[in-house]
Each structure stands twice: as structure tokens, then as C-alpha cells.
Structure 1
Amino acid sequence: MAENEVSGVEIELENVTKRYPGTREPAVDDFSMVVPAGKIVVFVGPSGCGKTTTMRMINRLIEPTSGKITIGGEDALSIDADDLRRRVGYAIQQAGLFPHFTVSQNIAVVPGLLGWDKKRINDRVEEMMDLVGLDPADFRDRFPRQLSGGQQQRVGVARALAADPPVLLMDEPFGAVDPITRGNLQDELLRLQTELKKTIVFVTHDFDEAVKLGDKIAVLGDKSTILQYDTPESILANPADDTVAGFVGAGASLKQLTLLRVRDVELQQEALTAEIGESPADVREKLVQRNKHFVLVLDQRRRPVRWVHLRQLSTASSLATAGKPLRDIVTLQSTLQDALEAMLAEGGAVPVTGARGEYAGTIELDTVIATIQKLREDHNGDVAE
């Protein structure tokens, strides 16, 4: 796909209502919205408000009672339901992988249903695994039970994207993993979106996640009533009512850090790096010559893997086991909030990675503090005016 080319399509919901038999009130009542092509729109609201029901009506996992849904200008209700679901990627919480299929077989499901030939499927599986950061040689023949929660979610996203659908629906896909893994998966989604530019509808009950991921956020109330549909910046600055303000919560000014990305600030390039196969003795000599105390070890694909202190190199037999493995890495897509949390966990500067996980520089606490101070000055200036 050419740079900046949008592969997603516009979705429009017009007066969509869902009533379940035997209930007086509709689950979703007269819902209308345009989801722009190539953007991430996040539905956020309390449990039971109808946000998942609304999203599932887009691919007709739930059939609407009335109203109209168009995808790329085509009436979704006129398309065979199975065919529609093959055109719309779908990723859910806890990945929903087939337990007796390998990773490659899970990713190949929809291309197989579409009748792709074996070579095209195999090529696509490898491409998708590489795209979500899973080495095919290590992971393609594993079963879901042999994966961590974060790895399962990556496979789930790869499966949802395997047939290159223009639309991706994501139903709280990162809700069941730990906070660090969740942050990494959010970064991964943003990285993928800069490359793929799909139309993504994402459901969450976590407003911070909505602010981080959404080009636009729809704050939904009971029966999927749209309380506010706007950019994260506008919702943080001007909540439409008290209910939306409750979602924004305290510390709205600090939440501005979730609007700024690591790519928006200057990275440091002063850390000494070494490739994992280098001799510890040679690396120690480099540190002494440069008057530095730490080296950042990169793997064969220039991905950061370990910090090693000068004194640890005297007895180390290999850089692969020396020092300590990195616990927290941030990407160019990470928010400054993520970066700040990672620095507090690591106790100092944190490595930053690029589009394929390669080392891009480090981000330091002074940089984030200076950005917070500037935000505060700008905010005070706006108030004074």
C-alpha cells in the first residue's frame, strides 16, 4: 500500500435500533453515526449501555431490528451475513483462538474460507506474524496454550487482519491482560494503524484507553445514546455534560500526556549500544573509553533486549545473559504517560523502538518533565486569556 493511502472505508449507521423479544426497552435506540474511513473510533461507556451490541450489528453478529448500516457505501443488510463477516475483521477479549489449531492455522482461517491457494495463505501467515511482532520460525507451530496472553492477542489481531479487510471491529481486545502488556498491545495497534490505515471500531470501558487509541471517541450512555462524539482533545477540554465529565475524571490536565506521543519529543541518542554477539571484553573497553557505565544490548534485528552495567562485563561470558532483561520498552506510538510510567518502573531512561521493534533512541525523565511544564504554561496562558 502506498504511503498515506487509506485502506479502510466509511461506515454509516442510520437510526439503528435493536429490540430483544420480551423486553420493553430497546438495547440500542435510534443510533446514528458516521465512522470516517481509515480512522479509529472508540465506543466508551458503562457496562450494559449497548456499546458492544451496537458494534456487533456492523458485522451482523447481532441483527438490527431496524435502521440502515452501510460499509463503504454498500448496504450491509443486503450482503450475505457469512460473506460480510469475512470482509470485516473481528478481534475479541482473550483472543478467541481455536485451541486445537496452531498459530498459523488460526491466522489462515479466513483466507482458507475465501479459497486462497496454499502458497498465498502461507505467505500471508508469515507476513501477518511478522507484522504483529511474532517470529514465524518460533511461533507458527505453537498452540494457543503455549502462548502468553499478550502473544495470544497478537495472534488474534493477525487473524482478524489476515484477509486484509477494510474494517476491523475490536471488542475490549486488551481487557484481559496485565497493564504493561496492555500498554504494549495498544502501542502495537497504533503502529499497525499507521501502516494499514484500516477503519477500526474499538469498544472499551476504559476512558484512558479511549483517549490513547481514538481518533474520535463516542461516549455512550444508556441504550447507546451518544452523549458526545468528538476528538479526544475536545472531550478532555470540553466535556458535553456531567456524565461525560465523570468519564474524563480527575486530573484531566495530566491526561493531556496521553495525547502526546513519544514521536512528538526529541529522543536521546547518547546510549552506548552493542550487538548481542559482541565480546563482553570488547564492550567493556568501549564503555571505559566513552566514560559510560551502561550498555544497551541489541539483538540481531537491532531490537533492545538488555541493559548491562560496566562491572557486570568483567565476569560475563556472553551479552545474551549479562545484566538484566528490559522490562519496559516504549515505542514511537507510545504516549508520554506510558513513557513516564515505564521510566518510574525502570528507574531511569527507557529505550524507544520504531516500526519493526528496532532501536530508535531513549527517552529521559527530563524530557517528559519539560513537556509537562510547557503544557501547564500553555494551559495557564489559555485560562488567562
Structure 2
Amino acid sequence: MSEPNEVSGVEIELEHVTKRYSGTRAPAVDDFSMVVPAGKIVVFVGPSGCGKTTTMRMINRLVQPTSGRITIGGDDALKLDVDTLRRRIGYAIQQAGLFPHFTVAQNIGVVPGLLGWEKKKVADRVEEMMDLVGLDPADFRDRYPRQLSGGQQQRVGVARALAADPPVLLMDEPFGAVDPITRGNLQDELLRLQTELRKTIVFVTHDFDEAVKLGDKIAVLGDQSRILQYDTPESILANPADDTVAGFVGAGASLKQLTLLRVRDVELQQDALTTSVNESPADVREKLSTQRKQFALVLDHRRRPIRWVHVRDLTKATSLGAAGRPLRDLVSVQSTLQDALEAMLAEGGSVPVTGSRGEYAGTIKLETVIATIQQLREDHSDDHSDDHSDDQEAAGEGVSA
């Protein structure tokens, strides 16, 4: 594996790529050209049937292009053996697409096994990938897909796609079939992985908010995969190219700026009392009393937040493992401030924040998010004032001329 923060992805270039299906007059994809930068996430977003999935699938030749050229790291993808090509490209889809009669470990190890890796190397890689996506190998290695939640299945799907350490990862609406909280957590997980792995990722979605959160660049696509705008999320939010793109941005563009700001961009609070799950309830009760606090945050053996306990929960508790209430939601340093706001509404107060491996990093409070929103509104107002001043100045110049 590459060193953290080292780019392991490669550039993808599509040149005048077209796909025509027999019996149809218009092409599904018409003259599509784009450069996907190495080590970046590029999101294709557009309405159903616009050709975005077809375009992505031509990269690994699950759909064969009718014409055009596709290069991956400088290699002509259309001249490579198709099996060789696909083993160099990770592929993650909605509902994971796991083999139902394979265990989690067997699913993750499929491609390394096909590549002829030794059994010990495959087993080590499977364990490494499970740890990377936040699944304890001891708990999940021998389970079958039917024994997993939707979010856990998606994590296995991502681990399988990354197992052979491919430079390119294609993701076709991979989080579209899970509930909103799980979806947000999986998005955070992908962003966390990307800071470590720096793959080249092409991600397809119809959800513009998801595109803004995940994309280094967004391609807003129209019919036949015509590129309406290809730019950074910031630029698209600030200056939609046309009315169709503006329709995708939708109302509340200024509030969507919260999706551009990460939890890591604001100051976290360190005032929560934390305790290990192995600590005695009596000791925790004494600490709460001494510090005049009502709640303690319980961490597991890897310092990951698992539950809140109120001082009254500790009177008859024999262990912290079942006292209090499990966390309904938490956020990571990769989460957006919009995610944090939604988590606060679910939790009913401040929310624990986790670091790069799920460890406790602090809490984020509603006052912090509100202050950030107010600052954004002031900045937005100042920008409009400057624009208005420029217009008046231009009008004055026109009169004097």
C-alpha cells in the first residue's frame, strides 16, 4: 500500500467517447470528453437516464464504447485484456453486490485470490481492509452478507473494491439504498479512507448534496452525458453555468455552504467527561459529582465513543457496557457541518466527534454551528454589497461617459 497522503491513483482521460445501442436513433452517450485528475474524487451527477452510469461503466468496459478513446494512467483501456483491466479497477455498487454464499472474508479476498496472491497474503490483506473500513475482523470475518446490516454490507463492498489496491475506484450510487444516518456515516468513511489512500475515484449519484460533500470536482450531466458544468463544488454553488445546473443546486445555496465546511474546520470542545467502558460505575459517579457534571461519555477499548451515561444511570449499574443509552449518531472530523447539525437534532445536544480511526476527538456544539452559519451569512451579505457597489460604480461610469 502507498504511504498516507501519497497519491496512489492515476489520471483517467476520456476523449470523444460515444455509446450507441442498436435499434436506437440517438446515442446514450455522445462525444464525452473529460480528464479525471489522479488522486481526486470526481462525481457524476444528473437525472436518471442521462447516461452517467453508462459513461462510468465504459471506464472498466462493463459497457463497451462505440467510439472514442479512454486512457488510465496513460494505458489505452480499450487495448488491455478486459479481465486484467477490471482487476486494476475497484468497483462498488448499490446494495454492495456481495456473493451471498461467501463469508465476509471470502468476499473481500476475491480479487487478490484471482490475482494469485498467496493465502497468507490474502488473509493479511482481508484483515487490514476490514480494520480500515471499521469492521472488527474477529466479529465479522466469518459472517455471511445476510447477517449484516445494509451499512455493514456497503463497508464490505468498499473493502472488496479496494482489496487488490487498485489505483482507480468506480462507485455507482453505492450508498443509495441505506438510511440517511448510515449514508452520512459511509460518506464520512469514504472521505476518511481517501485522505489515507488518495485513489482516483469516479462516483455516480443523483443526489446533488452528496456530490457537493464528496467531490473534489463535480460533473453536472444532461441528456446523453452532455457536460453542463465541470468544476469544484464551491464554483458550482457560487456560479451555476445555466438554469439547469441552478435547478440542481436548488434553493438555499448559502445553507449548502455548510456542506463545504468540515467539522475539522471548527473548534471542537474538550469539556466532556470521558470514561473507559471497563471503569467501575461507582468511580464514574464520583468523578461526575466532583466535576459537577450530569453526563459521561463512555469509550471502548479503542477509545471509540459508544454511549452516554447520566449520573442517575450509575446508581444501580454493575458495568458501563449497558448503562445509559447508546449513541444514536456521531460525526467524524470528515463530516460536514450540515451532518453535524442533523446529528445534533437526532442526539438532542452536543455530538461526539471521531478522528481518523474512529477514536474520540472532542464534541461539537450547536452554538459553534450557529456561529458559523451567521459568519457565512455576513460574508455572503458582504459579497453582495461589493457586487452592488461595483454595479453602481459601473453605472456611474456609464453616465459620465
Q: TM-score, normalised to structure 1's length?
A: 1.00
> Any idea what SS the aligned residue of 1:168 has?
strand
Which residue identity is paired with 1:207?
A: F
The answer for the alignment partner of 1:173 in structure 2 is 174
> Any idea what SS the aligned residue of 1:201 has?
strand
The answer for the alignment partner of 1:72 in structure 2 is 73
Render the CA deviation track for 1:18-51: whole Å, top value 9, x for unaligned: 0001110000000000000000000000000000
The answer for the alignment partner of 1:328 in structure 2 is 329
- Give 1:5 shift: 1.0
Which residue identity is paired with 1:121?
A: V
Residue correspondence of structure 1 range 50-129 to structure 2 within 5 A: 50-129=51-130
Q: Distance in 2 between matches of 1:3 and 1:32?
A: 31
Checking the alignment, whether the CA contact within 8 Å between 2:275 and 2:299 is kept in structure 1 is: yes
The answer for the alignment partner of 2:199 in structure 1 is 198
The answer for the alignment partner of 2:391 in structure 1 is none
Q: Distance in 2 between matches of 1:96 and 1:311?
A: 46
Q: Distance in 2 between matches of 1:21 and 1:114?
A: 35
Q: Distance in 2 between matches of 1:118 and 1:93?
A: 29
Render the CA deviation track for 1:299-337: whole Å, top value 9, x for unaligned: 000000000001111111110000000010100000000
**Measured at CA, do residues 265 and 170 of structure 1 come closer, stay the same or move farther in structure 2, by a change above 3 Å?**
same
Which residue identity is paired with 1:247?
A: F
The answer for the alignment partner of 1:376 in structure 2 is 377
Render the CA deviation track for 1:108-157: whole Å, top value 9, x for unaligned: 00000000000000000000000000000000000000000000000000
Question: How many equivalent pairs are there?
Answer: 385
Residue correspondence of structure 1 range 165-314 to structure 2 within 5 A: 165-314=166-315
> Any idea what SS the aligned residue of 2:369 has?
helix
Q: Distance in 1 between matches of 2:381 and 2:4?
A: 38
Q: Distance in 2 between matches of 1:331 and 1:159?
A: 23
Which residue identity is paired with 2:319?
A: S
Residue correspondence of structure 1 range 4-23 to structure 2 within 5 A: 4-23=5-24
Which residue identity is paired with 1:63?
A: Q
Q: Distance in 2 between matches of 1:175 and 1:348?
A: 28
User: Is 1:363 equivalent to 2:369 in the alignment?
Assistant: no
The answer for the alignment partner of 1:138 in structure 2 is 139
Checking the alignment, whether the CA contact within 8 Å between 2:220 and 2:245 is kept in structure 1 is: yes
The answer for the alignment partner of 2:344 in structure 1 is 343
Q: Distance in 1 between matches of 2:307 and 2:261?
A: 27
Q: Distance in 2 between matches of 1:358 and 1:50?
A: 40
Give 5+ residue unaligned stretches, structure 1: none
Checking the alignment, whether the CA contact within 8 Å between 2:70 and 2:78 is kept in structure 1 is: yes
Which residue identity is paired with 1:16?
A: V
Checking the alignment, whether the CA contact within 8 Å between 2:13 and 2:34 is kept in structure 1 is: yes
Identical-pair percentage: 85
Q: Distance in 2 between matches of 1:271 and 1:102?
A: 40
Checking the alignment, whether the CA contact within 8 Å between 2:4 and 2:195 is kept in structure 1 is: no
Q: Distance in 2 between matches of 1:230 and 1:236?
A: 10
Q: Distance in 2 between matches of 1:353 and 1:15?
A: 44
Checking the alignment, whether the CA contact within 8 Å between 2:9 and 2:198 is kept in structure 1 is: yes
The answer for the alignment partner of 1:316 in structure 2 is 317
Q: TM-score, normalised to structure 2's length?
A: 0.96
Give 5+ residue unaligned stretches, structure 2: 387-401
- Give 1:4 shift: 2.5
Give 1 or 2 for the bigger CA radius of gyration: 2
Checking the alignment, whether the CA contact within 8 Å between 2:16 and 2:67 is kept in structure 1 is: yes
Q: Distance in 1 between matches of 2:155 and 2:348?
A: 28
User: How large is the Cα RMSD of the aligned pairs?
Assistant: 0.5
Which residue identity is paired with 1:80?
A: D
